[in-house]
Chains A and B, each alone.
Chain A
């Protein structure tokens, strides 16, 4: 009842943020902005290159804007030429503002570097998007950790400057993960884009799919059937549990805790098995479509899932007990890799990583995001932002996800699963759609430009890039032997690193 009262009486906090931002833009920087655009549940500003600096000055110095962090920088190409997309996050990282500005088509690289330098003047976190190991002298680093040599290291190399076994300075080089073509996913139809987009999250492919479908559904004012909405919640939570169990498996492997490694691995496989029964695939479901889902789940599968929830819950409790009862392990995790709340906001961290630092942020609560309003759950929050908190928060999130699953399977509505609509027959005109979703690593944002029924440009901003941009701060002063533990605790999904941006 409370949920209904809340949903019917007030807008979601995210909508309030959007209204406030739009108001502020009109009052403070109307001259600088060429166009203010509401793209789904996000605000997009189009700013000319020469006005970027004054707009950034306003964002940073006018308190009403409350844009504390940098969510990401990327570039893409649409029919008008190369464009740069910048995302700024508020004091709640779920609330963000997008800025689009054109790049000089003859000097893309130089113009990009010039603009990133302008941004880094106001938001120092932007320095990450300029890092290039070629610009660092070979004698400056003492140790290099190449990609894939340790658990959790995939898609980037780490160059470390050490002093007495402590990390003094470090550089991240993600040259090998810059594989995305600037023409990526251009001139394909919408259904193809939904299929391909799941490859951006290698651990939980359903989230980018839902984000893209939601963007189209919001634009078309399409209300999807309640059963489809509930099944989306169910899949989201199953993927969240699988991802967090994968995280625990990785952490146990790094710490050499084989019992916890084996147990959590088996639980993860159980969850993946359920996902596979429902969708037919373990990681990339290709299950969502505009207007609902592609396939219904049978009562037998729902019943089987309901029976397995207590079993999975008990087994995860056991894993938590064996991990948390070991004082050597807790000693290693506590006070290691600390990131304070303000620093985390500054780097645009989101998801469990920022919740471990004490920031209560969750798009499932802040946005009226699919049917999460119908279910009772809490948002676990840590305190100190160290590796221990990041582990504990994820355990707590698994329990909350199991609680949501139990509620979904208990009251799965009967009815249609799809509002039949053929995207090939829909002409959307030329429009921009942005959608963000709370994935297991944080907020993943999908920016899409559509013309007719074809996709003109797609840009995905994943939370793992923010975690990677923050590791310079997190690892400074840490012991060399803790590097893999700290990076493993940030749960960096390599698929999100394949954006066009440098750094």
Chain B
């Protein structure tokens, strides 16, 4: 029951400092129109169901991301989007973001690409809807 209610309306919070955000937000525009699947973008962590982590981080922004995750209500899921998260940060090659982040939270879905196209993000979300 909870699954079917969630499936009809999921709120996404995009966090992080990176260029994937442009492509993710392109999905809310009239061409891709992600809202037709009942997916909305929000900025308040308490209202969010899915946390999208993308981009490049330093110590402060990583802590901020974990704070956002902790403020979210259960059930909550995390998507890791983009090459910076998955393969490593091109601006600081010694830092592997995902390893640091995974110490604190569990990642539910990975969307590779630099940046991934809006279709790739929508595809990942739809796959995830089937999963939950």
Kindly list 17 other residue pairs between chains A and B, CB separation below 8 angstroms, not including A149-B43, A175-B58, A282-B23: A148-B14, A148-B21, A148-B43, A175-B60, A179-B17, A179-B57, A179-B58, A180-B92, A181-B94, A202-B22, A203-B22, A249-B29, A266-B29, A269-B26, A284-B19, A284-B114, A494-B17
For residue B89, which residue of chain A has the nearest CB? A179
- The reply on B131 being an interface residue by CB < 8 A is no
Report the bound CA distance from A150 to B41 in whole Å. Answer: 12
Find B31's partner among A184, A265, A284 (CB 8 Å cutoff): A265
Min CB gap A157→B, angstroms: 10
Find B91's partner among A176, A179, A202 (CB 8 Å cutoff): A179
Min CB gap B11→A, angstroms: 15
* B-side contacts of A269, CB under 8 Å: 26, 29, 31
Min CB gap B108→A, angstroms: 21
Contact residues of A with B, CB < 8 Å? 147-150, 154-155, 175-181, 184, 196, 199, 202-203, 246, 249, 262, 265-266, 269, 282-284, 494-495, 498
Report the bound CA distance from A498 to B30 in whole Å. Answer: 31
For residue A177, which residue of chain B has the nearest CB? B17
* A-side contacts of B43, CB under 8 Å: 148-150
Report the bound CA distance from A178 to B30 in whole Å. Answer: 34
* A-side contacts of B95, CB under 8 Å: 181
For residue B28, which residue of chain A has the nearest CB? A265
CB distance B17 to A176 under 8 Å? yes
| Residue among B15, B19, B58, B117 with max Cβ neighbours from chain A (10 Å) | B19
Report the bound CA distance from A181 to B14 in whole Å. Answer: 24
* B-side contacts of A177, CB under 8 Å: 17
Min CB gap B129→A, angstroms: 24
CB distance B91 to A155 under 8 Å? no
Report the bound CA distance from A246 to B30 in whole Å. Answer: 14
For residue A196, which residue of chain B has the nearest CB? B90
Task: Identify the 5 closest CB pairs spanning chains A and B, nearest first.
Answer: A181-B92, A202-B19, A176-B61, A265-B29, A262-B30
Report the bound CA distance from A262 to B31 in whole Å. Answer: 9
* A-side contacts of B60, CB under 8 Å: 175-176
Report the bound CA distance from A498 to B58 in whole Å. Answer: 11
12 contacts between A and B (CB under 8 A): A149-B43, A176-B64, A177-B17, A179-B89, A180-B91, A202-B19, A262-B30, A266-B31, A283-B22, A284-B114, A495-B19, A498-B91
Report the bound CA distance from A230 to B23 in whole Å. Answer: 28
* B-side contacts of A196, CB under 8 Å: 90
Min CB gap A1→B, angstroms: 43
For residue B31, which residue of chain A has the nearest CB? A269
- Residues of B24-56 contacting chain A, CB below 8 A: 26, 29-31, 43, 56
* B-side contacts of A498, CB under 8 Å: 56, 91
For residue A263, which residue of chain B has the nearest CB? B30
CB distance B17 to A155 under 8 Å? yes
For residue A250, which residue of chain B has the nearest CB? B25
Min CB gap A183→B, angstroms: 8
- The reply on B93 being an interface residue by CB < 8 A is yes
Report the bound CA distance from A498 to B90 in whole Å. Answer: 12
CB distance B92 to A199 under 8 Å? no
* A-side contacts of B21, CB under 8 Å: 148, 154
Report the bound CA distance from A485 to B100 in whole Å. Answer: 36
* B-side contacts of A178, CB under 8 Å: 58
Report the bound CA distance from A155 to B61 in whole Å. Answer: 10
For residue A265, which residue of chain B has the nearest CB? B29
* A-side contacts of B61, CB under 8 Å: 176, 179
Min CB gap B121→A, angstroms: 13
For residue B61, which residue of chain A has the nearest CB? A176
* A-side contacts of B17, CB under 8 Å: 147-148, 154-155, 176-177, 179, 494
Given contact pairs A148-B15, A262-B30, A184 touches B22 in the complex (Cβ within 8 A): no
Report the bound CA distance from A253 to B93 in whole Å. Answer: 36
* A-side contacts of B94, CB under 8 Å: 181
Min CB gap A230→B, angstroms: 28
* B-side contacts of A179, CB under 8 Å: 17, 56-58, 61, 89, 91-92
Given contact pairs A147-B17, A176-B17, A498-B56, A181 touches B29 in the complex (Cβ within 8 A): no
Min CB gap A153→B, angstroms: 10
Report the bound CA distance from A153 to B19 in whole Å. Answer: 13
Report the bound CA distance from A498 to B89 in whole Å. Answer: 13
Min CB gap B18→A, angstroms: 8
For residue B114, which residue of chain A has the nearest CB? A284
Report the bound CA distance from A498 to B19 in whole Å. Answer: 12
Report the bound CA distance from A282 to B57 in whole Å. Answer: 23
CB distance A282 to B117 under 8 Å? yes
Min CB gap A242→B, angstroms: 11
* B-side contacts of A147, CB under 8 Å: 17
* B-side contacts of A154, CB under 8 Å: 17, 21
Given contact pairs A147-B17, A176-B60, A284-B114, A181 touches B91 in the complex (Cβ within 8 A): yes
For residue A269, which residue of chain B has the nearest CB? B31
Min CB gap A491→B, angstroms: 13
CB distance B90 to A199 under 8 Å? yes
CB distance A176 to B29 under 8 Å? no
- Residues of B74-105 contacting chain A, CB below 8 A: 89-95
Report the bound CA distance from A178 to B91 in whole Å. Answer: 10
Min CB gap A344→B, angstroms: 27
* B-side contacts of A262, CB under 8 Å: 29-30
* B-side contacts of A181, CB under 8 Å: 91-95
For residue B15, which residue of chain A has the nearest CB? A148
* B-side contacts of A184, CB under 8 Å: 91-92
Min CB gap A457→B, angstroms: 14
For residue B63, which residue of chain A has the nearest CB? A176
* A-side contacts of B89, CB under 8 Å: 179
